[in-house]
Amino acid sequence: MSAISLQDLDISYGTAKVVEGVSFDVAEGESFALVGESGSGKSTVLKAIAGLAPDWTGGISVLGQPRGHRPDRGFARRCQMVFQDPYGSLHPRKTVDTVLSEPLQVHGLGNRDARVEEMLGAVGLDRRFRFRYPHQLSGGQRQRVAIARALMLEPKVMLLDEPTSALDVSVQAEILNLLKRLRAEQGLTYLMVTHNLPVVGFMCDRMAVMNRGRVVEIAPAAALHDGSFSDPYSRALYAASGGTAHD
Amino acid sequence: MSAPLLSVEDLRVSFPTPTGRVEVVKGLSFDLGRERLGIVGESGSGKSMTGRAILRLVRAPGRVAAKRMEFEGTEIQSLPERRMRDLRGARISMIMQDPKFSLNPVMTVGRQIAEALQAHERLGRRATRERVLEMLEAVRINDPERVASMYPHEISGGMGQRVMIAMMLIPRPSLLIADEPTSALDVSVQAQVLDLIDELVRDHGMGLILISHDLNLVSRYCDRIMVMNAGRVVESCAASELHRAQHPYTQGLLAAVPRMHETRPTLPVLDRSQWSGT
């Protein structure tokens, strides 16, 4: 059974069709990347899976269960999303404790105190951060809180939308290590959107290259080592990033 | 190149906190000719504050002090605010991080660029328009007439940043400060924007201060690099010598970047106890 399966997915915003005919499968425990420029529709695919872009046709199923177009409680327990900007994705007037307890409250789960404490430990935050507000945290700490929030319901599938692009390189390394460790510890499946190919090389097993709303190629991460992409667009993207890779 | 364009000695920027004043820039000195200087560091290292201090844009209660801060031979610190306004934009320009927040959303692109020009030069309407279109062309916008009449929400991020560059360069300044000019942009567009800044800076014989957290990027576009940590310069070297950096902080920053041929199971993380200061 695949963790995420997309069949012939079309997504529109109003009259504009932004994603067309996207199909791929992500195996359980796999880390899969969606790469491409802004406007290529990669984030939109994540949004559609998460239910934030409800105007789609085709098939989306997560862990074998097809997803409908409406908000779905059970779905939230299986699949969660981490957003790009930790400065924008946390409520400015809620403490870390409130942010982390809320999903438990919504789903009527008990033992909240212990769970919050445990999750803070898992993402490498000290207990003293528990009653702070987002403005009292650095960007890296905020992203840790956002990751903790996504993990509170113990989902098996995580949708990561450029989780480190708003962070410094040194902090990016910490967050990438954290994500990698969590995946190993909790057996998570990642679907990650990024435009940074070296990050794909570090985090992912396979990638889909998107351009103008279509998947032009699905390649193994090993293709980053030798540049063995078949599609001209993927090769151009590789070349544009190749200059920034430092080896 | 006898007299440097900008000469800074012992620059200090401080902010009050409940536990007393905290210095975020602690005694920075450098000379800049008509060259490209990169300032690298993490968030909070004081790199952006350095850029702002040069333009005297640090607001109270922040405080700037320096033994000397001369631009083209003039001490900037003692200039009255009115003279300073003539300097800003006209002689020293700054490109900000995110075009989305730095452009006026209710003004067309063309009018904004024209405004930047009119603030410093008296020109007729036709001459202004010509300069605007010429500048838009210089930043490689294909259809300047059409773009000039568009609003910021109608253009892409990369184009927005090019419009910003046009706006900053149209009064023909001699020093350009670019504070993370491309961090809000895509990789493919990043290179284009930086190449463009690079080309314009070379053509006009300007000085450039490029502020960024990305070591590799800075090393490609600058002649000289200063690495800052906690308000101090920890290392200063020629860009070509970067891979031979000595300081553990610089080495740590370099190692933390994922590589295209990544085989390391975990990325090395900065061990902040290794050097003094923080």
Domain ranges of chain A: 2-90+155-242
Angle CA B275–B212–B208, to nearest 5:
120
CATH dotted code for A2-90+155-242: 3.40.50.300
What is the pLDDT, as a whole number, of residue B189?
Answer: 75
One-letter amino acid at A19 equals V
Q: Is A147 on the interface with B (CB under 8 A)?
A: no
Neighbouring residues of B144: CB distance < 8 A, sequence distance ≥ 6: B132, B133, B136, B137
Per-residue pLDDT at A247 exceeds 50: no
Of A139, A169, A237, the CB nearest to B257: A169
Q: Would you state the pLDDT for residue B102?
A: 85
Q: What is the CA radius of gyration of chain B?
A: 19
Cβ–Cβ of A170/B264 closer than 8 Å? no
What interhelical angle do A139-151 and A112-122 show, nearest 10? 130
Q: According to the model, what pLDDT value does residue A246 have?
A: 41
**Structural domains present in chain B:** 6-255 (3.40.50.300)
Answer yes or no: is pLDDT of B2 > 60.
no
| pLDDT score for A87 | 81
Cβ within 8 Å of residue A139, ≥6 positions away = A86, A87, A166, A167, A168, A171, B43
Q: At residue B277, does pLDDT exceed 60? A: no
What six digits make up the tokens of B74? 């003039």
Q: For an interface test with B, which of A144, A168, A180 has the most B Cβ atoms less than 10 Å from its Cβ?
A: A168
- Residues B154-176 have pLDDT tens digits of 888 778 888 888 888 888 889 99
Residue B1: pLDDT over 60: no
* B189 chain-A contacts, CB cut-off 8 A: 37
Q: Is the pLDDT of residue B181 over 70?
A: yes
- The predicted model gives A131-138 an average pLDDT of 90
Report the pLDDT value the prediction gives residue A191, as an integer from 0 to 100: 96
Q: Is the pLDDT of residue B10 over 90?
A: yes
For A212, list phi and psi in degrees, rounded to 5. 50, 45
Using CA atoms, how far apart are residues A104 and A110, in angstroms rounded to an integer?
7
Task: Return d(Cα B41, Cα A148) in angstroms, integer.
Answer: 27
Q: When comparing pLDDT for A121 and A38, which is higher? A: A121
> Would you state the pLDDT for residue B132?
92
pLDDT at residue number B208: 93
Minimum distance, in Å, between the CA of residue A210 and any CA atom of chain B: 14
At residue B274 the predicted structure's pLDDT band, cuts being 50, 70 and 90, is low
Per-residue pLDDT at B273: 57
Q: Is the pLDDT of residue B254 over 90?
A: no
pLDDT band at A231 (very low <50, low <70, confident <90, very high): very high
Residue B190 structure tokens = 């990043």
CA distance A42 to chain B (A): 13
- pLDDT at position B278 over 60: no
> What ipTM score was computed for the predicted complex, to two decimals?
0.75
Instruction: Verify whether the Cβ–Cβ distance B259 to A180 is below 8 Å.
Output: no
Distance from CA of B261 to the nearest CA of A (A): 5
